[in-house]
Structures are given as structure tokens and as C-alpha cells.
A and B are shown apart, each in its own frame.
Chain A
Amino acid sequence: MTATPAPTPSLPHRIAVQLWRHKRWRLALLLGLPSLWLVGVYGGSLVSLLVQSFFRLDSFAGTVDRTPTLATWRDLFTSANMSVAARTIAMATTVTLVSIAVAFPLAYFMAFRASRRSKTLLVLAVLIPLWSSYLVRVYSWKLLLAADGTINWFVDRLGLGAALDALLAAPVVGGPSLSVSYLGQFVVFVYIWLPYMVLPIQASLERVPRTYLEASADLGARPGTTFRSVVWPLAIPGVAAGSIFTFSLTLGDYIIPTVIGDSSPFVGLAIYSYQGVAGNLPLAAAFAFVPIAVMALYLTAARRLGAFEAL
């Protein structure tokens, strides 16, 4: 009787054994792809952007001169560019604050008051706009806000035409029509980014234990006091998380300012035209660091408020 050789373990089996023995291999396999993405693709493109910003545009040939220089960064800090940044930051801040004001009551109602059924319907209502294309929504707002558009028609029917005209005559926010004013632009920004504010606030409010509210009431706090000292502090992480979305999305958007508003450039638009129209890649790259710097400051502040615990 000849001894049968021990069956050779199959390849998958051997790999599994090796992985079980070597913890590091396991880890490398799990994190390899994501870290390649983060460090290689994401970090790499940021580094190349930074590198580009130290080149400059040769004014004669219109080509990029690849000798390291700080000239491009000097060009960035002109008053025109800084006013673009200021306009964008002001809009992003206003949009964020108003989004909080609009989203909070809705999220509060969804979390504390709504029945299970109506809560589902409300979540659906908040999410449904996200199912259609962003561009379609922006363009339809252009038609709604136009001088001969739907909103103006209603306003006229209601006899409020004079009030709207007075509003549009206001300095800064006004303009020839709603669709050609900061006011209209602001309305569209709030509309487009609102879902990103409602959902994190609702999530954070859902996690407020109902017993806290009862305890607060038992201790004699009025509803207002309960809100101020119990609900709001616990909701802050959600508000901060939502504001990261609305703030950064407004900061980087370059579609809405081209379709709605008076064509005043925003950061995204300025980067786009420096890169595309002017072929001034170095300046576009340097400009791209403005929103990055603003967001870095913002995220540091948001982290202090505990925003990342609610994501």
C-alpha cells in the first residue's frame, strides 16, 4: 500500500492562512485601496495644485512658466480678487445662518412632534428634490424668479407688486428682477442646500433622550429654558455638521452665480475663468487655496463644537 500524499491546500486556503498569520497583511489589504485613493489621488492632486500655484503665466506666450516664483501669490492678493472672496464668504455665511433658521423648526418637528407616518413623509419631502438634477432645479428657479416669471405673476395678482419693487430697489440685495439680484441668488442657494442642513439637525435631535426633557420639566423649567439649556446644546453638533455642508457647498458653487444673479464673480467662478478662459492655471491654483484655507478655519471651529460626533 502506497502512502497517498497529503492533499495540497488550495490557493485561496493558503492565502487565508497567511492572512490569518500576518496581521499587517490583513490591514494592508483592508486599507490599501482607500489610502491609495486618499493619499495618491486626493492628496496628490492637492499637492500638484499647490505646486502649480508657484508657477506663473508668461504674459507674452500665454503659457505657464515653470520656474518657482511667488508672483502668482502676489497677484492673488489684489483688491479685486479679495472682493470676490469676501462676496463668496458673505453669501456662504448668510446662506448658512438662514438655512439653520429654516431647517431647525422643521427638524425639531420631525424629531419630537411628528407621527411615524408623517415623519416618513417629511423626510421624503426633504429628500425628493435631490432626486432631480441640480441643473434642472437651478434653471427652473431662473424661470420662477424671472421678471415675467411665476413668482412675479403671483405677486402682481396679490397686489404686492409695489412691495416687491421696493424690495428690489434696496441697495446691494436688489436688482432689475429677482433672478438678477443677490436676493434671488440667495433664495436659490438656500433652497438647493437646505436638505443638507435638515438631516444632520434631525439626526442630532433624534438622539436627545426624551427623559432629559421630562427631567427638565419636572425640575420646573419652562419650555423656553428647556430648549435653551437642554435641546439646543445637544443639537449644536448637528447644526455645526449641517453648516459645514451648506457653507462649503456655497463656497465652491459656480453654477448658481452664472445662472442667477448679476454675474458678479464668486470664488468658484473666478477659479473657473482663470483656469478656462485665461489659461492662467497658476492663479487658479492659488485661488483654489482660498476656500481651502477658509474651510480649514471653519472645520477647526466646528470640531471645537463637536460637529464630527454628529456626522
Chain B
Amino acid sequence: MKRRVLAAMSGGVDSSVAAALLAEKGDEVVGVTMKLLARGETGFGCCGSAADIDDAKRVCERLGISHYVSDMADVFESKVIRPYVESYLGGTTPNPCVECNRSLKFGHLLALAEAWGCETVATGHYARVEKGRLLKALDPAKDQSYFLYSLNARALSKAEFPVGALSKEAVRDKARRLGLRTADKVESMETCFVPGRDVRRFIEKSAGAGARGLAPGPIRDRTGIELGRHTGLASYTVGQRSGLGLSGGEPRFVVSLDPDENAVIVGGSEDVWSSSIIVGALTWTGPAGAARAEVRIRHRHEPAAAALEKLHDETVTVVFDEPQRAPAPGQAAVFYSWEVVLGGGTILRGENL
């Protein structure tokens, strides 16, 4: 009996090859592209723009598998876009990919897959699942396990990442050999639903120019002295250097954002290092709790050894062996034991003890 699997296809090369590998294995592959933006909006490389849907469709034709479009614009709006905007307005730096993986690909799409009789959901992520555990990709330069930490054991039991053991070059080679039109497609590196990388404009459009987080306010040093004015908290991220509009002296960096005072706090380069962080909204891929882990605080950050001290059920203090630069509230902190993802959560704040 053929295994039926759902391949989530963004129209990019990675998910194209993921679907191709499953089809080659003899699975009955059901290609699905999620339409994430409402009609009329043109996503810049966002899943479900007309051009991407067309690419995915053509790849499926080439592979001889069926393809469907699933309209998830409403869910994407409520689960990903709105929290993303809220996060910026509240002075934190969101990670929408984490939520999209949890709520869309391994939430709504997985539920649909089960209703359609599909045993798994496969995506083009560079990560691996072995014996129910989430592992880093074999190619460390492409590893995307950071964005998948919030999958629980049930989701992981239904997840497949067929390209997780390949390099990007191998994936492109495979696509070329199969004659897939996505073989040399440019990779989207930015937040998929924000046109032209212009986060500020996107926030203004979504929340209205008068929203909190977009209002000008003071730039202060750590002692409270006002050094200048900022253009709204939504334009700043902890650790950022440029864009402060301050002249003269030592380079200044954003140390923190204070939504209560609508203030941007800046300091010298030494001030953005944190010896520990508070991490909330914890999830675990397997058994909860671990005393030590290597902790990654942003995509491509080299995981840093740390002790995890439980504050309560959903919150831990992560005490790094060595201080880490610029953990940004709102970003994910992901706990690894070598190549295994243990779990993770959302950075609430950094501390320098």
C-alpha cells in the first residue's frame, strides 16, 4: 500500500525537491501551496503569491503529482501577521517564522493533511527528525531547526524534512537534473509578507500611523539622560547600531526598548552583552526540563552553553557560561543538546548580572 503524504510547497526550490524526493521513493505525494495573503495583495516572495503558486503547480506537473491551493489567509492574518505587528508596537522583535511553522504548516495544514488521509506533512526545511526527535540539518550553514523548535512531539511524529540531510547545492543539483523550473530560483531571506523589506512601512500600513510604537520619543543613555529623539520603537531592535541619528563620540547601540516610557535606551558596545536571559512561553519537543543546554538566541547564532534555571512552568532563566551579544526580546531562544533540539521559548529580556 502506497503511503500518502502531503508536501507543503511554497514554490521555492527546497520544497520542490522535498516533494520530488518523496515521489521518487514511491509515495503518493499531495502537493499543497498555502495561500497566505488575501486576494489582491502581492506578496514579495510570500507563500501563495500568484507567481509562486504557479511555480509549485508547474513543479507538480513535472513530477506527475497532484497539486492544490489551500487558502489560509485568515489564519495567517490572525496567528502570524497581527502578533507580528503587535510585537513591534510593544517594543519587541518578533519571529513570525516560528509561529507560521507552529500554527500554519504544523497546525492547520497538518490537520487538513490528516483529514485528507495523509500520513505526514513534508516541508523543504533544513532540519531532520529521527526517532521523534528534532535534529539540526546536516549542513550547518543551512540549518533551520531554530524556526521549528515549537513543534511538539505529536507534530514531530507527523513531520518530514526530506532535504534536511542535503546541502543547498545538492538540492539545486537535484532540481536541475529533474528539470524543475525552481532550480535556480532566488532564495527569499526576508520576512515573506513584508514587501521590500520595509518593516516600518508595513507596520504603519497595518496599525495606522498613529499607533503606539510608531510615536517619536526620547533616546536615553543608561543613566536616563536624553541624547536625542527616536522615530518609534518599532524601528529599533536590541543590538542595532545604525539609525539612531546621534552624532559624535563612541558608537552607540540599542541596549533595550522601554515601551512604558516609549524610550530607546542606548549604550556602548559593551552594554549590549547579557550574561543571562529570561525565556517564557516554553515548549518542549520531548520530555520537559533540562539543566544545561546550548542556547541559540537568533538564527545563525552559534549556540552558547548555558544553565537553565526554572522560574516556573513556562519560564526559565538561561545563565550563559559566557555573556552573549544582544539577545532581543521577542526572538526565540532554542535549547540544543548538541544536534538535538530540546525545546525553546520566547526571550522576555536580557540581564547582565
A and B: real partners?
no
